């Protein structure tokens, strides 16, 4: 493949949470400013040649007017070419992939990728119901977000003996990691017993098996690899990416013990990067629910199919484990402002590969980090991006 | 002069009754709960009442399926649907067309919706009789159903039940029962009443006045108008709108054997369905039966000669007692809420897809008929057709619209505890592998929330999903088979399904 190599030279985010006092535009500005100030050798905002903005929620959530024109104005760059990307829960990671392709194509050398999402401007009930009633008027009725993943938990437990304790261990680990991440929505430890005793949300998932509704924004700066040293002596390179789609509705799924769409996206990313799952030092994966992380670590090839629950319970995915997963706290603890989620995961991978996250730093053996999202009506799309410190 | 307006025996030829089915909601409302709510001394008994996802249309669907199954008649053989209900789910609107589509009858099927009073069930039966006798319709499906909404605090609230009954009517030759004679008499008097724009039904008259000056004279006038007095051993179904008047009516018409006795005690007054539900006890073996119905100032008596048990009779009679699934208690506030009489201060959050939208227009037939698109290359059934212009398995654009199977097995499921109104929590949702290989995902029944398991045998039931922006929205829900192979539309005839289910539970 003939494409210009791409480097990440800056990344930043705002503290995720229920940001009732910040507008969409203020969040975008905060994330952009954080990314700009993170660039080692300084960065003039006007060096941005183009921007890709990821915002997933549209017509149902009060962001009807949000488009490619909203963010440049908010961050002081009106005039810059900018396009909004929407691709379900992987919107942010797909915006990153598209930004990388813009740089790789040679059309632009410096591209901003920014994800912004307002999740809490509408009431929980209204958000829930909107979710439960969009799409086909019957075939997805009553499908709130946990309905899209809980059926996999039921079947995974049935087939592999996965237990609620195993699911809970994912939440416990990610909440612990979140206490080490100053940007995380939640900053408190929880116990397995607390997860088990939390109110049922969507059997077999309980409240602490679920990510919160979180506002947030994150941004990264991509440049042509040949110009990376203008900005930093410690660039991180884009090694590969993959996107895959599947039939979106749950009744169209071929299996309920995994998400083949993740495996397909990962295969494409691994092939492009020339690495395999055993050469990944850490991963930021889509843990909207505890079961999702268990599916992810199996579908990404880190853990044998069916063993994800046991592996989680035994600490294989902890920061000091064999394959650290979601050291940032993940969606479960850091939060899931949809368009911002993937971009924030990229930021964590960037910081981890540069070795600058303190207590939650993972051991770097191969210099590769993987970022993953999956989503859509019923996991109809997945995106995997792989970053590396190894020279392109 | 009035006699010349009413066809009597000899004017209309006899017609045959091929099968019967019934449906009664599983919910029961204690009369004493209602009385206590109004500071009155306790009443007694329980009334069959709809849950939030049931109404007279879903009951009608269930009874119709059972009747067709019992009669061994396929939906495509039905020429017309005659549905009687005092309160159709849409005061103006396509109630009849919705029921027709949900039963799976063709778009060329005629018939009518009879309404206006609880006499509507017999109006529907008479209309079907005329059409079949005249040769205009070969096989008619008659459905009588009601789930009336009594006004809060009215006497009617302590007697209003719910139920549905369906009959398959065709030519008389070889039929196990024949409708042989009838008479109708009309008196312009109020009885149970709901004015235009009024939400609930009430009783305008003093009970004694109603009994003496309206009910008894009206019913006896219809019976007296029959050309031949039914023989003494006739089994009678008589109106019993409050659980006590039935005895008075029976005495007034000289009924010795009353098949409707005890029905009120089990389900209350099922409105338009009451008379035909009361008839069930008379269809179990040879003899003469007479059903008398009254309402809206009209009374009708129909004489039926039974020569053999009418298929479906036993199962339909059992439905009155709760059927396979049994009954469950519903508290008074939840019933008021289901009836739209207890409403929250805040407006419900509107759904994302309004019933008036083009998406509903596109989805209406596939929603009510539960349709799929069967690929003509690989045979995969994709549901719903509107979102599958090509086969999701092989990409072929060719295929036929088919009705998917109505029974299957649970592949996986969830129980949603966090549903905002209008949904009811806990709400199961299940991915089901239907017996024709189609995979589908639908809401389940709240009463199955605790027991549902992977591998369970289930069947699909038409239910009212919600009333959105004033419009009822219907669709299918998954219900767990209590006994594998049973269920409203399986009728126990699917013996192979039962053995498959048991084997499946053991292996999984």
- A212, A251, A379: which to substitute to probe chain B, counting the most B Cβ within 10 Å? A251
Nearest CB to B443; choose among A133, A141, A250: A141
The count of residues in chain A is 392
> Domain B406-508 belongs to what topology?
OB fold (Dihydrolipoamide Acetyltransferase, E2P) (2.40.50)
Residue A369 has pLDDT above 90, yes or no: yes
Span A182-191, average pLDDT: 98
What's the pLDDT score for residue A58?
Answer: 60
Tokens representing residue B108 in the block: 């060329």
Span A285-313, average pLDDT: 98
**A147: which chain B residues are within 8 Å (Cβ-Cβ)?**
414, 416, 429
**A253: which chain B residues are within 8 Å (Cβ-Cβ)?**
431, 439
C-beta separation of B372 from B439 below 8 A: no
Measure A345 CA to nearest chain B CA, in Å. 28
Residue B499 has pLDDT above 60, yes or no: no
Tokens representing residue B77 in the block: 């053989």
Q: Is the dihedral of CA B415, A245, A66, A10 positive or negative?
A: positive
CATH hierarchy code of domain B10-338: 3.40.47.10
What's the pLDDT score for residue A139?
Answer: 67
Q: How confident is the model at residue B489 (pLDDT cuts 50, 70, 90)?
A: very low
Q: How confident is the model at residue B363 (pLDDT cuts 50, 70, 90)?
A: confident
Q: How confident is the model at residue B420 (pLDDT cuts 50, 70, 90)?
A: confident
Residue B491 has pLDDT above 50, yes or no: no
Please report which helix (H) or strand (E) contains residue A54, including its range: strand A50-54
A89 tagged catalytic: yes
Domain spans of chain B, in order of start: 10-338, 371-403, 406-508
Residue A97 has pLDDT above 80, yes or no: yes
pLDDT digits (tens, 9 = 90+) for A47-60: 999 999 999 876 44
Q: Flag whether residue B371 sits within 8 Å of chain A, measured between CB atoms.
A: no
A336 tagged catalytic: yes
C-beta separation of A202 from B416 below 8 A: yes
CA B328 to CA B54: how far, in whole Å?
14
- Residue B394 CB-density burial (10 A; 0-12 exposed, 13-18 middle, 19+ buried): exposed
Q: What 3-state DSSP class applies to B178?
A: strand
User: What is the number of other CB atoms lying within 10 angstroms of the CB of residue B397?
Assistant: 11
Nearest CB to B383; choose among A60, A200, A251: A251
Which residue has better confidence, B366 or B85?
Answer: B85
Q: How confident is the model at residue B425 (pLDDT cuts 50, 70, 90)?
A: confident
C-beta separation of B273 from B165 below 8 A: yes
What's the pLDDT score for residue B501?
Answer: 30
What's the pLDDT score for residue B352?
Answer: 67
Domain annotation for chain A: domains and CATH numbers: 6-123+211-388 (3.40.47.10)
Q: Is the dihedral of CA A228, A229, A230, A235 positive or negative?
A: positive
Q: Flag whether residue B411 sits within 8 Å of chain A, measured between CB atoms.
A: yes
Q: How far is CA B176 from CA B10, B131, B228, B287, in A?
A: 21, 20, 22, 11
């Amino acid at each position: 493949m003939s494409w210009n190599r791409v480097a990440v030279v800056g990344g930043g985010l705002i503290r995720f949470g229920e940001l009732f006092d910040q507008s969409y535009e203020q969040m975008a500005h905060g994330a952009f400013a954080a990314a700009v100030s993170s660039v080692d050798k300084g960065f003039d905002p006007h060096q941005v040649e183009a921007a890709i903005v990821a915002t997933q929620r549209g017509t149902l959530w009060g962001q009807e007017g949000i488009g490619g024109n909203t963010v440049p104005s908010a961050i002081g760059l009106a005039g810059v070419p900018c396009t909004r990307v929407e691709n379900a829960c992987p919107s942010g990671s797909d915006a990153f992939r598209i930004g990388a392709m813009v740089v790789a194509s040679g059309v632009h050398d410096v591209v901003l990728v920014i994800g912004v999402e307002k999740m809490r401007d509408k009431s929980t009930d209204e958000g829930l119901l909107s979710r439960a009633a969009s799409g086909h008027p019957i075939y997805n009725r009553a499908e709130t977000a946990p309905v899209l993943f809980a059926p996999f938990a039921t079947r995974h437990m049935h087939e592999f003996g996965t237990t609620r304790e195993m699911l809970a261990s994912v939440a416990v680990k990610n909440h612990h990691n979140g206490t080490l991440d100053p940007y995380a929505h939640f900053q408190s430890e929880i116990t397995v017993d607390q997860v088990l005793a939390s109110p049922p949300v969507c059997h077999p998932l309980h409240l602490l098996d679920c990510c919160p509704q979180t506002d947030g924004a994150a941004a990264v700066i991509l440049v042509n690899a040949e110009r990376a040293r203008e900005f930093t002596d410690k660039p991180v390179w884009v090694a590969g990416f993959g996107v895959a789609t599947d039939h979106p509705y749950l009744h169209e799924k071929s299996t309920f013990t995994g998400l083949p769409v993740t495996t397909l996206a990962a295969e494409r990313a691994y092939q492009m990067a020339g690495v395999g799952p055993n050469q990944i030092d850490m991963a930021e994966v889509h843990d909207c629910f505890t079961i999702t992380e268990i599916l992810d670590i199996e579908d990404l090839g880190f853990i044998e199919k069916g063993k994800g629950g046991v592996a989680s319970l035994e600490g294989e995915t902890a920061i000091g484990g064999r394959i650290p997963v979601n050291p940032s706290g993940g969606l479960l603890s850091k939060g899931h402002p949809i368009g911002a989620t993937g971009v924030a995961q990229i930021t964590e991978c960037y910081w981890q590969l540069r070795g600058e996250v303190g207590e939650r730093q993972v051991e770097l053996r191969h210099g590769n980090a993987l970022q993953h999202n999956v989503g859509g009506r019923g996991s109809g799309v997945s995106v995997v991006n792989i970053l590396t410190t190894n020279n392109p | 002069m009035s006699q010349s307006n009413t066809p009597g025996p000899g004017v209309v030829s006899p017609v045959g009754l091929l099968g019967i089915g019934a449906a009664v909601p599983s919910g029961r409302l204690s009369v004493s709960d209602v009385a206590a709510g109004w500071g009155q001394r306790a009443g007694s008994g329980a009334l069959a009442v709809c849950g939030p996802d049931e109404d007279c249309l879903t009951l009608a669907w269930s009874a119709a399926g059972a009747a067709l199954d019992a009669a061994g008649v396929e939906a495509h053989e039905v020429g017309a649907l005659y549905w009687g209900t005092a309160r159709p789910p849409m005061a103006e609107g396509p109630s009849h067309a919705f029921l027709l589509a949900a039963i799976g009858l063709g778009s060329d099927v005629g018939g009518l919706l009879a309404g206006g009073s609880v006499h509507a069930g017999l109006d529907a039966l008479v209309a079907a009789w005329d059409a079949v006798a005249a040769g205009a319709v070969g096989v008619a499906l008659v459905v009588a159903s009601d789930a009336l909404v009594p006004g809060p605090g009215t006497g009617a609230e302590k007697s209003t039940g719910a139920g549905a009954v369906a009959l398959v009517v065709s030519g008389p030759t070889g039929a196990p029962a024949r409708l042989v004679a009838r008479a109708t008499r009309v008196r312009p008097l109020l009885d149970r009443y709901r004015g235009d724009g009024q939400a609930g039904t009430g009783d305008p008259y003093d009970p004694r006045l109603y009994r003496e000056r309206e009910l008894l004279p009206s019913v006896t006038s219809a019976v007296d108008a029959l050309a031949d007095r039914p023989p003494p051993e006739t089994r009678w179904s008589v109106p019993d709108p409050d659980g006590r008047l039935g005895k008075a009516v029976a005495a007034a018409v000289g009924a010795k054997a009353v098949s409707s006795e005890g029905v009120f005690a089990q389900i209350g007054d099922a409105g338009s369905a009451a008379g035909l539900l009361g008839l069930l006890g008379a269809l179990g073996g040879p003899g003469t039966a007479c059903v008398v119905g009254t309402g809206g100032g009209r009374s009708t008596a129909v004489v039926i000669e039974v020569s053999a048990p009418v298929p479906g009779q036993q199962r339909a009679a059992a439905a009155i007692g709760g059927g396979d699934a049994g009954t469950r208690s519903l508290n008074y506030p939840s019933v008021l809420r289901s009836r739209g009489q207890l409403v929250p201060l805040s407006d419900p959050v509107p759904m994302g897809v309004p019933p008036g939208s083009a998406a509903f227009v596109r989805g209406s037939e596939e929603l009510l008929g539960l349709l799929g698109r069967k690929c003509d290359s690989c045979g995969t059934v994709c549901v719903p057709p509107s979102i599958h212009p090509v086969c999701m398995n092989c990409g072929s654009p060719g295929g036929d619209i088919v009705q998917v199977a109505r029974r299957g097995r649970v592949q996986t499921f969830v129980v949603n505890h966090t549903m905002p109104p209008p949904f009811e929590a806990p709400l199961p949702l299940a991915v089901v592998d239907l017996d024709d290989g189609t995979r589908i995902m639908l809401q389940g029944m709240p009463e199955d929330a605790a027991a549902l398991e992977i591998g369970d045998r289930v069947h699909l039931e038409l239910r009212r999903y919600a009333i959105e922006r004033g419009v009822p929205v219907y669709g299918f829900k998954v219900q767990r088979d209590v006994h594998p192979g049973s269920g409203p539309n399986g009728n126990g005839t699917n013996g192979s399904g039962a053995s498959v289910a048991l084997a499946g539970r053991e292996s999984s």
